[in-house]
Amino acid sequence: MTWLRATGMLVGATLAGLLAGCASQDLYQSSQGFRRSQCERILEADRRADCLRNADRDWESYERDRERARR
């Protein structure tokens, strides 16, 4: 499975959860390991570091950004 396809599947599953009203801290945190493992596959150091920073965002930052996007 390619990185892009796996990421697309994760994004799709996350969006489906959000639309179904199932967004939760547990779901977000449980997907962090998957996101980190996908970042580790990126060969370019700068892109990998950006990816890992995003994957390591805490729940509060994620929720704050999500609320801003909803407005």
Residue 24's pLDDT is: 81
Q: Where are the domains of the chain?
A: 20-70
56: number of Cβ within 10 Å: 12
Residue 14's pLDDT is: 63
Report residue 15's pLDDT band, with 50, 70 and 90 as the boundaries.
Answer: low
Q: Which residue has the tokens 């179904």?
A: 20
Question: What pTM does this model have?
Answer: 0.57
Q: How far apart are CA 47 and CA 68, in angstroms?
A: 25
In this prediction, residues 35-55 reach a mean pLDDT of 96
Average pLDDT, the chain: 82
Q: How far apart are CA 12 and CA 40, in angstroms?
A: 21
Q: How far apart are CA 15 and CA 10, in angstroms?
A: 9
